Structure 1
Amino acid sequence: MKNKFLLVLSLLFGLMFINAGLNKFLNYMPPPDDVSEGLSTVMGAMMEISWLIPLIAIVEIIGGILFMIPKYRALGAIVIFPVMVGILLTHLINDPSGLPIAVSLMVINLWVILEKSDKYKPMIN
């Protein structure tokens, strides 16, 4: 039962990141109208660095795909982790309204990392 629940969460998590990455390239979801001034400033600064948004998008797409495949889920969790930290800090500092979703996604990511911790031991030794 736990494995099926984790599989469903992993599929949803992966799809969400693939969607977010594709949206950075295709712009099919308009940004919300009620963006805080702090978040608007941060996003404007990120847009000034021309290579940053495409890099984040590629990492989100690749990480999302890896996260959905059980064999590569451990790798996907590590690939997505830095992006997840950035999302969590952005919402913690600039836009607290998105914090519940960011925290839940971080919990899912950490759960997968802990579940697959045996796969990371060779990197540490």
Structure 2
Amino acid sequence: MKNKILFVVSLLFGLMFINAGLNKFFNYMPVPKDMPESLVKLMTAFMQISWLMPLVGAVEVIGGVLFITNKYRALGAIIILPVMVGVILTNLIYSPSGLPIALPLLIINIWVIIENRKKYLPMVS
């Protein structure tokens, strides 16, 4: 039962990141109208760095695809972790209204990392 729950949660998590990553390339999701001014300034500054958003988008898509697959889920979780830290910090500082979505995603990511902790031991030993 635990494996089935983990698969469904990982599938949804991975699809959310694939969607977010593809949006950075194709811009098909509208920008919310009620974004705080400071967050708009931050995103505008990020967009000025021409390679940053495509890089983050590629990391999100690759990490999302890996996160869905059982064999490479541990690698996907590690790849997505820095993006999740950025999402959490951005929501904490600029837009706390996004935390109800970001915190469960961080918890899922940490859960998968803990479940796969034995796979990471060769990296730290």
Aligned to 1:29: 29
Flag structure 1 segments of 5+ consecutive residues without an equivalent: none
- Equivalent residues in 2 for 1:49-60, closer than 5 Å: 49-60=49-60
User: Which residue number corresponds to residue 103 of structure 1?
Assistant: 103
Distance in 1, Cα, partners of 2:68 & 2:52: 24
Letter in 1 for 2:10: S
- Deviation of the 1:28 alpha carbon: 1.0
The answer as to 2:89 corresponding to 1:85 is: no
SS in 1 for 2:72: helix
Output the CA distance in 1 between the equivalents of 2:42 and 2:95. Answer: 10
Distance (whole Å) between structure 1 residues aligned to residue 25 and residue 49 of structure 2: 15
Aligned partners of 1:44, 1:29: CA distance in 2, in Å? 16
Q: How does 1:5-24 map to 2 (within 5 A)?
A: 5-24=5-24
Return the letter of the residue paired with 1:74: A
Runs of 4+ in 1 over 6 A off after TM superposition: none
**Within the alignment, does 1:117 sit opposite 2:117 as a pair?**
yes
The match for 1:75 is 75
Alignment coverage as a number of residue pairs: 125
Letter in 2 for 1:63: G
In terms of mean alpha carbon deviation, does 38-47 or 68-77 score higher?
Answer: 38-47
SS at match of 2:43: helix
Cα distance, 1:83 vs. partner?
0.3
TM-score (norm 1): 0.99
**Matched residue type, 2:44:** G
TM-score by length of 2: 0.99
**Aligned with 1:71: secondary structure?**
coil
Gaps of 5+ in 2: none
Identical-pair percentage: 66
Deviation at 1:48, TM superposition (A): 1.0
